[in-house]
Amino acid sequence: MALRRLAGRILLHRVASLPPPRPPPAFLSSESRGHLLLRFSTSSSTPPHFMVQYLVSSCGLSPAEAAEAAPRFAHLDSASRPDAALAFLRSQGLSRAQVRAVVSCKPKLLLSDVEATLRPKFRAVRAVGLSRADVARLFALYPPALTFGVHTNLLPRILFWLDFLGSAKLLMKWLNKTWLLMYSVDILLRNLFTLRALGIPDSRITTTVRLQPTLIMQSAAKFQRLVGRVEACAVPPSSGMYMWAFFTLHNVSESAFPAKKAAVMGAAGCTEEEFDAMFRRAPCFMFLPAELLQRKVEFLLATAGCDTKYIVNNPVLLTLSLSKRMVPRCRVIETLRSRGVDIGKTNLRSIMRWSEAKFVERYILRYKQEVPELLELYPPRHG
């Protein structure tokens, strides 16, 4: 909480003190850009600028990348400033691959003043508790962070995620998967406020966002559309499944959802209200492809002895593997019956939901002497 309050204070100070935004500098026309690229390209009849070879040999860029980046250094007549920037990055523990990642993403960082621009950022991130190796990795994974103001963007974003995720380990894990620092803290806080305003407890929000931080890394408009999609599925914010529905719809596009819904409703013969009830109980079944959902429903109806009402009340069945769980278990029961083994009353609907250990103990290990082929039909495994 202390880190969150600190991030909030930094954010408020930023909003109050920042001058009005200035218009961006004019970009080169496409014609001028073409002339520059021609000048710096190694294929031109003009001798290439020395920075082309420098970017290849010192930074690890490909010749094509170097030729594209070289116009940014047109004014240089020596490599003294790039040398200083590279030397500093390497002194901070960045490997050659990490240096290449930084320079290929943001070539102009080679023009940075080390003491005024680069060193303060490394020092600030180290000060919040990240190791030297993690700081190097952070900037290599998200080079734009080296262009952030220390107190206006860099620290607020890092402090927000450290506080929210709870550890530097999780911060680095998610940085490796997504550009976690891309969105400003005010956007993230606004999206969190939207969820809290619905009455969703912080504990549920935190649990789900830690599973997928991109849930709150969205524009306000996109986030509100997602809230509206959950509402359209009749999932109330008071439900313990609300955040799982939110999580699911974040990962299932607006175009894919109707096809999956139609596949389930068509195969099960259920109404829209019944489908909404299924979604409220186990939203994550909608991660599966429409064709697989249809096959699972058909199997449950035709083979496992389920009816539509049972599937509607137990949609978690649709999250179980058809090839590794449902079909093999049915084969085991059929084999035991065909061999005349008295297994008592069996309910395939319930057996599908048994834990792996319970099923193996009850039907595989118990009868392996009488029906040894059971171990081939259903080899014991964890799960």
| Encoded amino acid at 160, one letter | F
Does position 17 have pLDDT exceeding 50, yes or no? no
What is the model's pLDDT at position 345? 79
What is the model's pLDDT at position 349? 85
pLDDT band at 379 (very low <50, low <70, confident <90, very high): confident
Domain extent listing, the chain: 2-13+35-180, 187-251, 254-319, 320-383
Does position 260 have pLDDT exceeding 70, yes or no? yes
Average pLDDT on 332-348 reads 87
Nearest to 359 by CA among 335, 332, 322, 336: 332
Which letter does DSSP use for residue 131 in this model? -
pLDDT band at 264 (very low <50, low <70, confident <90, very high): very high
Average pLDDT on 160-169 reads 94
What's CA 160's distance to the chain center, in Å?
Answer: 17
Average pLDDT on 80-95 reads 96
Q: Average pLDDT of the chain?
A: 87
d(CA 373, CA 115): 73
pLDDT band at 115 (very low <50, low <70, confident <90, very high): very high
d(CA 110, CA 84): 8
d(CA 231, CA 279): 12
Model pLDDT for residues 316-329, shown as the tens digit of each residue: 999 999 999 999 99
Q: How many Cβ atoms from other residues are within 10 Å of residue 29's Cβ?
A: 9
d(CA 119, CA 122): 5
Does position 38 have pLDDT exceeding 80, yes or no? no
d(CA 171, CA 44): 45
d(CA 165, CA 171): 7
Question: Is 95 strand, coil or helix?
Answer: coil
Average pLDDT on 181-197 reads 96
Higher pLDDT, 4 or 215: 215
In angstroms, the first-to-last Cα distance of the chain is 37
Does position 245 have pLDDT exceeding 70, yes or no? yes
For the chain, what's the residue count? 383
Instruction: Kindly provide the residue ranges of all beta strands, DSSP E only, lying in 61-162, ordered along the sequence.
Output: none
| Encoded amino acid at 149, one letter | G
Longest dimension (CA), the chain: 90
Q: From 3.40.190.10, 2.30.30.230, 1.25.70.10, 1.10.260.40, which CATH number describes the 2-13+35-180 domain? A: 1.25.70.10
Model pLDDT for residues 42-73, shown as the tens digit of each residue: 444 445 678 999 999 999 999 999 999 989 89
What is the model's pLDDT at position 47? 52
Question: Is 342 strand, coil or helix?
Answer: coil
Which of the residue ranges 64-78, 174-188, 350-364 has the most confident prediction, judged by mean pLDDT? Answer: 174-188
What is the model's pLDDT at position 269? 96
% residues pLDDT > 90 (the chain): 74
Does position 34 have pLDDT exceeding 90, yes or no? no
Average pLDDT on 98-125 reads 96
Model pLDDT for residues 190-236, shown as the tens digit of each residue: 999 999 999 999 999 999 999 999 999 999 999 999 999 999 999 99
Tokens representing residue 379 in the block? 């080899």
pTM of the model: 0.76
Give how far Cα 264 sits from Cα of 154, 293, 307, 346, Å.
Answer: 46, 6, 13, 26
Give yes or no for a contact between 345 and 319, defined as CB atoms under 8 angstroms apart: no
What is the model's pLDDT at position 48? 61
Lowest mean pLDDT among 137-151, 192-206, 234-248, 350-364: 350-364
Tokens representing residue 137 in the block? 């990795």
| Encoded amino acid at 8, one letter | G
What's CA 237's distance to the chain center, in Å?
Answer: 23
What is the model's pLDDT at position 242? 97
